[in-house]
Amino acid sequence: MATLAALSLLVFTTAAAAAQAPAKPVRLGLCAACHGENGRAVQPGTPHLAGQDLDYLKSALAAYRSGARDVPLMRTATGALSSAELDELAVWFAAQSPVPP
């Protein structure tokens, strides 16, 4: 019985990995009000994040958190997050379909 459970778990995990979509970040709610869950900005004056370059998103988030990119709004949004959490958000937004021009 335990073997069967382990087997079905394995099948499930493999299927999820095959879909290749990143898991929804736990902290996504902190960003969604302005940038949208799928990275399509819902507030005027807010950049779309969907489909942006992953390395660019990572470095932008690090720069906001450190204050090197001095935007109080974004510093507040990123201030409480760990580097791993910021990376997870960057991976999520980079994987969303870009907004057509």
Distance of CA 34 to the CA centre of its chain: 14
Q: Which residues of 64-93 are buried (b: 16+ CB within 10 A; e: fewer)?
A: bbeeeeeeeebeebbeebeeebbbbbbebb
Closest approach, Cβ 50 to ligand HEC, in A, equals: 11
Is 24:71 a contact under the CB 8 Å cutoff?
no
61 or 96, CB closer to ligand HEC? 61
Is 91:58 a contact under the CB 8 Å cutoff?
no
> Considering the rule CB under 6 A, would residue 50 count as an interface residue with ligand HEC?
no
Residue nearest to ligand HEC (CB): 31
Per-residue x/- mask for ligand HEC, residues 12 to 31, rule CB under 6 A?
A: ---------------x--xx
Sites of contact with ligand HEC (CB under 6 A) = 27, 30-31, 33-35, 43, 45-47, 49, 57, 60-61, 69, 71, 73-74, 77-78, 89
